[in-house]
Amino acid sequence: MPKVGIVVGSIRKNSFSEQLGKNIVELLPEGYEAEFIEIGNLPLYNQDSDEDIPAVYTTFRETVKALDAVVFVTPEHNRSVPAALKNALDVGSRPYGSNVWNGKPALIVSHSPSNLSGFGANHHLRQVLAFLNMPVVQQPEVYIANVHELLGEDGKITNQDTVGFLQSAVDALVGLVTKYEA
Ligand SMILES: Cc1cc2nc3c(=O)[nH]c(=O)nc-3n(C[C@H](O)[C@H](O)[C@H](O)COP(=O)(O)O)c2cc1C
């Protein structure tokens, strides 16, 4: 059964990112499994830890290694990727030569409470994932605007057009999983 990791770029409780992530899980086809990947517990990476590896790094790397695909759902922090998300990408990319992200199909979903939709974060993340050798869904690009108006009190997306659009993005990711597992 293919396993999709949901990596949430925000580490605050009940973030819009997490709520969007839960909606996206519902759109995965039958037979797919989803797992939210904890990133808020990872100490800030530095190369000394390649010698004395923190146990949480090992757990994180093993968890990512077992995934078949990754969905990144992220806000934008100062026109880029939140530091916690960049740290998680760095932790998974090292020690040199053992990048656990390698070859895993990915979908990027960015959002903001404004019309900007996290465009800067979305494209900075694309740049990093290119180097980490992750085949990323190119179309559709997913920029969610006015996220605070999109989610009901139960955390569900209220706009069915948005649900349909996200479904098309998830379908594109599933297409990549099928292609790369073949
Ligand atoms: C440090 C910081 C920097 C931010 N920078 C941006 C930004 O560059 N662009 C933007 O659209 N929103 C920015 N925001 C606002 C976030 O989009 C907003 O807080 C969003 O709700 C966070 O998503 P979350 O609910 O998933 O945490 C910033 C927020 C923080 C805390």
Each residue's pLDDT tens digit, 119-168 = 999 999 999 999 999 999 999 999 999 999 999 999 999 999 999 999 99
Q: Is 74 in the pocket of ligand 1 (CB under 6 A)?
A: no
Q: Is 23 in the pocket of ligand 1 (CB under 6 A)?
A: no
Domains of the chain: which residue ranges? 3-181
SS (H, E, C) the chain: CCEEEEEECCCCCCCHHHHHHHHHHCCCCCCCEEEEECCCCCCCCCHHHHCCCCHHHHHHHHHHHCCCEEEEEECCECCECCHHHHHHHHHHHCCCCCCCCCCCCEEEEEECCCCCCCHHHHHHHHHHHHHCCCCECCCCCEEECCHHHHECCCCCECCHHHHHHHHHHHHHHHHHHHHHHC
Distance in angstroms (rounded) separating the CA atoms of residues 42 and 55: 10
Residue 74 has pLDDT above 90, yes or no: yes
Say what the pLDDT of residue 157 is.
98
Each residue's pLDDT tens digit, 8-66 = 999 999 999 999 999 999 999 999 999 999 999 999 999 999 999 999 999 999 999 99
Name the token pair of 149.
Answer: 């108006």
Residue 182 has pLDDT above 80, yes or no: no
Distance in angstroms (rounded) separating the CA atoms of residues 103 and 51: 25
Say what the pLDDT of residue 181 is.
84
122 CA distance to ligand 1 centroid (A)? 13
Q: Is 93 in the pocket of ligand 1 (CB under 6 A)?
A: no
111 CA distance to ligand 1 centroid (A)? 9
Q: At what angle do helices 83-93 and 55-65 cross, to 10 degrees?
A: 80
Mean pLDDT to the nearest integer, 62-77:
98
* Residue 33 CB neighbour total at 10 angstroms: 13
User: Residue 46: what residue type?
Assistant: N
Q: Is 168 in the pocket of ligand 1 (CB under 6 A)?
A: no
Residue 116 has pLDDT above 80, yes or no: yes
> 3-181: CATH homologous superfamily?
Flavodoxin domain (3.40.50.360)
Q: Is 21 in the pocket of ligand 1 (CB under 6 A)?
A: no
Distance in angstroms (rounded) separating the CA atoms of residues 164 and 154: 19
